[in-house]
Structure 1
Amino acid sequence: MIGSLRGKVLRIDGVTALIEVSSGVGYEVDMPVSSLSELKIDAPCFVYIHHVVREDAQVLFGFSTITQRSLFRALIKVNGVGPKMALAVLSTFSVDEFVSSVLQEKASSLEQIPGVGKKTASRLVVELKDTLKNFANDSGQSLQSKQGDVSSSDDRFSDAVAAMTALGYKENDSVKYVKLVLKEEPSLSTQQIIVKALSVISKGGR
């Protein structure tokens, strides 16, 4: 499965970016407006990918941060919410704004999302409230804020998080522990980061 792409933006059509990777292959990636706005034609880019394999097609969804991708994955698990609506959510709200609205049970504010009516807005709050608590720390800040000085385009950071999730750890937990390790020892290699992160988890996250 494709987890990320690094390359050059060839063109943007609507909500789809064509990204050429180093091998010369171009991938069409559907993205929320908030992520597309950060791309520039003929400029290098890095995006996290959610790869969907269907009987009749393979579809790539791209995001500028790993937290956006985590929220997208949580959204498409909600009954009646598909990828198109999940992209609409991320195009309308930042991760922080959406998480805050759900945790505060402000269903009415979610009705501004295209395609979301009163019933769907209420369903989003009910089905995501417990899940999205994992996106917030004690002060109500999302993991997007907690990444701090660790760049989402850092190869070691993204590779370590990808490895952790492949081992079965939740993506938001992987971000948390990898960031913690890098904050304490910023010069570690990817393998060393993973080993340290697993050690922290085995000790109860301390």
Structure 2
Amino acid sequence: MIGRLRGILVEKQPGQVLVEAAGLGYEVDIPYTTFFHLPETGQEVVLHTHFAVREDAHSLFGFANRLDRDLFRLLIKVNGVGPRLAVGILSGLDADQFIQCVEQRDASALVKLPGVGKKTAERLLIDMGDRIGQLEGQFVPRGTGAVNAGETPKRPPRQPDASEEAEAALIALGYKPQEATRAINRVAEEGMSREDLIRNALKAMIPTG
């Protein structure tokens, strides 16, 4: 089991990074909430990871903090929720937001996530309601200024620019990271707002009759 990865960030894009550690390059799938916490390429990065093994693929998933990783591990235990859907959920909601949805029984927020229908949302609320207690001591309400258990205080993450936010929004809508990146690059012009980027990218991605 690979539980933590520390190395140099070689490449990054919403959905995946390449990290070099001890001479090896690790391709790591990430939710876009983690993407916003990444340093610049060429700098050191630490990811909390989960190594998933299937008959047809071995995949490494990475997260900015241990809470997100541990929540991911609980999500994939829910019937019908695989690693890809779990990453999609954590791309639309960070761990704190997801836990608050479960505690408040807010199914409407969950069904807005790609791949989550009404039945899946209801199953998540039921199953995760019994399981989030396993995260006791890690979840910290917003605004307290505290950090996750086992974490050291860090500088505030770099704020994403409009293009990164637009790409993340497209991914949250269900588009593949590569599709979102290409669409934003096609329409991006200096000074464009996130909203204009998203609007123009969607027009470019949806063929007209």
**Superposition TM-score, scaled by structure 1 size:** 0.66
For 1:203, the equivalent position in structure 2 comes to none
State whether residues 18 and 26 of structure 1, in contact with CA within 8 Å, keep that contact through their aligned partners in structure 2: yes
State whether residues 6 and 45 of structure 1, in contact with CA within 8 Å, keep that contact through their aligned partners in structure 2: yes
CA distance in 1, matches of 2:46, 2:112: 29
CA distance in 2, matches of 1:65, 1:150: 8
Counterpart code for 1:12: K
Counterpart code for 1:29: V
For 1:27, the equivalent position in structure 2 comes to 26
CA distance in 1, matches of 2:88, 2:110: 11
Shift of 1:89: 1.2
Q: Secondary structure at the match of 1:74?
A: helix
Shift of 1:152: 7.4
In the alignment, does 2:100 pair up with 1:100?
A: yes
Q: Which runs of 5+ in 2 are unaligned?
A: 155-209
CA deviations over 1:81-115 (Å, ceiling 9, x no partner): 11111111111112111111111111111111111
Q: Secondary structure at the match of 2:111?
A: helix
Bigger RCO (CA 8 Å, 6+ sep): 2
Q: Secondary structure at the match of 2:41?
A: coil
For 2:152, the equivalent position in structure 1 comes to 151
Q: Structure 1 residues 145 and 79, CA, compared in 2 at 3 Å: closer, same or farther?
A: farther
Q: Structure 1 residues 2 and 148, CA, compared in 2 at 3 Å: closer, same or farther?
A: closer
In the alignment, does 2:126 pair up with 1:126?
A: yes
CA distance in 2, matches of 1:14, 1:101: 24
Shift of 1:145: 4.7
CA distance in 2, matches of 1:74, 1:95: 11
Across the aligned residues of Structure 1 and Structure 2, the Cα RMSD in angstroms comes to 2.5
CA distance in 2, matches of 1:82, 1:120: 12
Choose 63-72 or 35-44, whichever is displaced more.
35-44
For 1:15, the equivalent position in structure 2 comes to 15
Identity %: 40
Q: Structure 1 residues 68 and 135, CA, compared in 2 at 3 Å: closer, same or farther?
A: same
Q: Structure 1 residues 149 and 58, CA, compared in 2 at 3 Å: closer, same or farther?
A: closer
- Count of matched residue positions in the alignment of Structure 1 and Structure 2: 150
